[in-house]
């Protein structure tokens, strides 16, 4: 996979985006091989009003390095994926310094939905990402 070195995935202000990773024609019928992001540390999803899932298919994810997730103004996000998510415990900030640890993003999103809560957020000052961080990006291709 071409994204083996990805450390930060930051998606913002995509009003029509419903999912980040789309299923193949037969993707909903059975679990495929694991989709792995071995070095992904930060997942930041902001201002995505129609995002309902990171992956709305029965794919399993392995995210061994993920340690922080930011979900800000993603009111329709109900699950991470229909498959399993293998990851370490991560911190999900709620308000200010408050937050909780979770090992299961699907369960966290389900519980948030049942309580009628908005997506958890962290203050942007908690992470330091500058445009220069992407200066070595060779090519980024948008696949519709």
Query: Domain locations in the chain?
Result: 8-124
Cβ proximity of 95 and 71 under 8 Å: no
Is residue 103 over pLDDT 50?
A: yes
pLDDT band at 106 (very low <50, low <70, confident <90, very high): confident
Q: Give every CB contact of residue 138 below 8 A, 6+ residues apart in sequence.
A: none
Res 114 pLDDT > 80: no
Contacts of 121 (CB under 8 A, 6+ apart): 70, 71, 72, 93, 94, 95
Would the pLDDT of 140 be above 80?
Answer: no
Q: How far apart are CA 51 and CA 53, in angstroms?
A: 6
CA 47/CA 115 separation, integer angstroms: 21
Question: What pLDDT, in 10s, does the model give residues 52-78?
Answer: 999 988 888 999 999 888 888 888 888
For the whole model, what pTM was predicted?
0.71
């Amino acid at each position: 996979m071409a994204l083996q070195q990805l450390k930060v995935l930051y998606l913002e202000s995509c009003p029509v985006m419903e999912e980040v990773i789309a299923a193949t024609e037969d993707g909903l019928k059975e679990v495929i091989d694991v989709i792995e992001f071995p070095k992904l540390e930060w997942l930041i999803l902001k201002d995505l009003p129609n995002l309902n899932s990171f992956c709305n298919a029965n794919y399993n994810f392995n995210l061994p390095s993920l340690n922080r997730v930011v979900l800000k103004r993603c009111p329709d996000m109900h699950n991470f994926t229909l498959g399993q998510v293998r990851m370490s415990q991560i911190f999900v900030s709620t308000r200010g310094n408050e937050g909780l640890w979770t090992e299961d993003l699907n369960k966290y999103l389900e519980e948030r939905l049942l309580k009628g809560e908005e997506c958890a957020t962290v203050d942007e000052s908690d992470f330091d990402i500058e445009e220069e961080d992407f200066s070595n990006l060779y090519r980024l291709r948008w696949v519709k």
